[in-house]
């Protein structure tokens, strides 16, 4: 069973900026892999389900000590294991770059030159991957994916890093952008619980699949 702070209610934290995991439809209902798993877990518990919405994975991680949620949907990042425990992966997503149309670069190594600036989101799993792979380019961090995209546009940065599906959605709202077909990292997505509730994970893993 999952231990919850509010009897009869499962609070599921979702990163609304990661459209590979969750999206809100025009009526405000949530859909996507994270939302589906949350509904399955709540149904097995016979609990009400309440989604707790955050704008970045870093915000979910920071909230772990404030008892704002019971389960969350995040990348299994080693730097988060001081507060969180993770299930087996339920999905793998790809990190890539969004840049301006007409640029010649086809992959991350093509951008790794002095003077190149790439926007990323502070605390995102791909931020650490990006920094570990780059030798010369500079990573400029912002607090949320929306802020990193805005910074990319407003500060005329060379590219912005993110999850492919989310960047595809972002690119569709602007003219003159292109998404690199080659990614720079694969990121496993898991169900997370506060570390003091790690014993809940076997039950979650039994019930998270269809």
All domains of the chain, ordered by start, with CATH? 9-91+188-207 (3.40.190.10), 94-186 (3.40.190.10)
pLDDT band per the 50, 70, 90 thresholds, residue 209: confident
The reported pLDDT for the residue numbered 210 is: 62
Higher pLDDT, 82 or 5: 82
pLDDT digits (tens, 9 = 90+) for 129-160: 999 999 999 999 999 999 999 999 999 999 99
The reported pLDDT for the residue numbered 27 is: 83
- DSSP letter for each residue of the chain: ----SSTTEEEEEEETT-TTT-EE-TTS-EESHHHHHHHHHHHHHT-EEEEEEESSHHHHHHHGGGT--SEEEEE--GGGTTTEEE-S-SEEEEEEEEEETT----SHHHH-STT-EEEEETT-HHHHHHHHH-SSSEEEEESSHHHHHHHHHHTT-SEEEEEHHHHHHHHTTSSSEEE-SS-SEEEEEEEEEEGGGGGGHHHHHHHS--
The reported pLDDT for the residue numbered 59 is: 95
Mean pLDDT throughout 49-71? 95
Mean pLDDT throughout 79-89? 95
pLDDT digits (tens, 9 = 90+) for 86-137: 999 999 999 999 999 999 999 999 999 999 999 999 999 999 999 999 999 9
């Amino acid at each position: 069973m999952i231990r919850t702070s509010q009897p009869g209610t499962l609070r599921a934290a979702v990163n609304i900026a990661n459209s590979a995991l969750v999206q809100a439809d025009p009526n405000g209902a949530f859909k996507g892999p994270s939302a589906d798993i949350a509904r399955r877990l709540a149904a097995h518990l016979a609990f009400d389900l309440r989604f707790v919405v955050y704008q970045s994975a870093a915000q979910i991680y920071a909230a772990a000590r404030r008892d704002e949620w019971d389960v969350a949907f995040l990348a299994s990042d080693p730097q988060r294991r001081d507060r969180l425990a993770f299930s087996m992966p339920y999905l793998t997503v790809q990190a890539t770059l969004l840049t301006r149309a007409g640029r010649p670069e086809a992959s991350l190594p093509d951008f790794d030159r002095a003077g190149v600036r790439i926007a990323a989101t502070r605390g995102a799993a791909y931020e650490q991957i990006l920094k570990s792979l780059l030798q010369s380019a500079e990573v400029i961090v912002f607090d949320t994916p929306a802020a990193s995209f805005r910074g990319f546009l407003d500060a005329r940065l060379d590219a912005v890093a993110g999850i492919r599906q989310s960047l595809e959605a972002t690119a569709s709202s602007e003219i003159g952008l292109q998404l690199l077909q080659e990614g720079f990292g694969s990121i496993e997505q898991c169900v997370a619980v506060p570390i003091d509730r790690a014993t809940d994970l076997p039950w979650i893993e039994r019930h998270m699949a269809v």
